Structure 1
Amino acid sequence: MTTASQEQDVIDLLVQQHEQIRSLFEKVKQSQGEAKQAAFHDLVRLLAVHESAEEQVVHPAARADAGDAAVDARLHEEHEAKLTLSELYDLGTSAPSFDARFAEFEQAVLDHARHEEQEEFPQLRRDSDPQRLRRMAGAVRAAEAVSPTRPHPAAGESPVNNMLLGPPVAVFDRMRDAVRDWRQSHGD
């Protein structure tokens, strides 16, 4: 881990990931064919690991700072996003209804990120010392390393479920990703 990443706090890390998510939404919308599918898979992966890590690390910490109502609202949004993302994944980027459904999904995800950035994160920053926020960034990175790379709405948004079910599901997802990537690179 670089010195810069060790100094980065959890809020800066998550806001940076929100920017990556916004960029991937644009890339999906501007691409076609295999490039669109690849960009969508990148978005799916980032959203899956990002939300899983937030559910394990950030939301439990923010509950004391931002309150139950704010965190419960974010968890509800994340559950709805998992359901929609799973539907979009099954639908595929070439389906006629994909673009319209994707636009609705994009708006919901961007609204969710805005709520986090305006309601949850400022309170967490105000009520946490900088060292705690840096340690949380490390915990988020660790959680992302063992998180599933696809949405699994049936698993719920519980930190305990994510910690217990996440790693075995992540292994399966990563194997599927490797096979998919191999097939794409070998024309199968």
Structure 2
Amino acid sequence: MGTLTKQAVLKTATRPLLAGKATAEAATTAPAWSWRAVRALGGENVVDVLTRQHRQIKLGFLRAALPGPGRRRNFDRLMRLLAVHEAAEEAHVHPVARRALRHGRMLAARRRDEEKHAKELLIALWRTGPDGAGYLRRLNEVRRTVSQHAAREEREEFAALGKAVSPARLRMLGAEVKLTQAYAPTRPHRWVNNEATNKLAAPVLGPVDRVLDAFRHRDAS
């Protein structure tokens, strides 16, 4: 085999390796401004962000069950936290898990089904309100469903993401989650339940929900 032929074979054999290396480097490379945004948002790992919010949600359910004049305020805070938390997961976290994890498609589909069911319960709870008949029963039903869902996320999805995704990408994903939660809808919407609908709805429903929240709080004060 001539020298030219050997060179051609070597070039052909190594091309996939070089391409894979370039792809991996491109995946971990981001503009300087994006890393400045990550640092401005705390630079937290997305798993830490969402796990902390799971604890806040658990505490939020307890507070929303307390009687007294603060129940409405605690209820609104809980609903807002649940809404923005799920919006960020559906828009950013589950899509990454679907692509990066072994059996990612199956895991992401399970989480979406769980979130769709939880959202139906949340809508019923929202309509009942903290002063409605059956409020505590509905609240407890949502609490059980959300707690089971959060435990499965942490066990099946978050732990695997921590191993499969680079620390830099996890920090970037943490920043994306925080940015999304800053303008996401603050109440459950039945048809907003996947990556595309969350990204489309946030710029529209997010501001509308916040205006409605401001009017409701003004009337309540």
TM-score, length basis structure 2: 0.79
1:61 to 96, 106, 112: 96
1:170 aligns with 2:202: no
Q: Which runs of 4+ in 1 moved over 6 A?
A: none
Q: Tell me, yes or no, if structure 1 residue 45 matches structure 2 residue 100.
A: no
1:3 Cα deviation after fit: 5.5
- Indicate which of 16, 19, 33 corresponds to 2:55: 19
1:126 counterpart = 2:158: no
Q: 1:32-181 to 2 correspondence within 5 Å?
A: 32-64=67-99, 65=101, 67-155=104-192, 157-181=193-217
For these two proteins, the number of residue pairs brought into alignment is 183
Determine the C-alpha separation between the residues in 1 that align with 2:180 and 2:136: 31
Measure the CA separation in 1 of the matches of 2:152 and 2:143: 14
State the AA in 2 paired with 1:61.
V
CA distance in 1, matches of 2:96, 2:208: 29
Note the residue ranges of structure 1 that are not aligned, 5 or more in a row. none
Offset, 1:4: 8.8
Distance 1:46 1:137 in 2: 16
What is the alpha-carbon root mean square deviation over aligned residues? Answer: 1.6
Cα separation, 2, equivalents of 1:103 and 1:19: 16
> What is the rounded CA distance, in whole Å, between the counterparts of 1:151 and 1:101 in structure 2?
15
Whether 1:6 aligns to 2:56 is: no
1:182 aligns with: 218
Is the 2:184–2:206 Cα contact (8 Å) retained in structure 1?
Answer: yes
SS at match of 2:184: coil
1:39 & 1:168 partners in 2: Cα distance?
Answer: 25
Please report how far the alpha carbon of residue 81 of structure 1 lies from its aligned counterpart in structure 2 after TM superposition: 1.2
Deviates more, 1:160-169 or 1:119-128: 160-169
Task: Give the distance between the partners of 1:4 and 1:109, measured in 2 at CA.
Answer: 30
Q: Distance in 2 between matches of 1:38 and 1:177?
A: 11
Residue identity opposite 1:175 in structure 2: V
The alpha carbon displacement at 1:2 in A equals 9.3
2:41/2:178 contact within 8 Å kept: no
**Corresponding letter in the other structure for 2:119:** K
Opposite residue 58 of structure 2, the aligned amino acid is: R
Identity score, percent: 37
Q: Which has the higher contact order (CA 8 A, sep 6+)?
A: 1
Which amino acid in the other structure matches residue 46 of structure 1? L
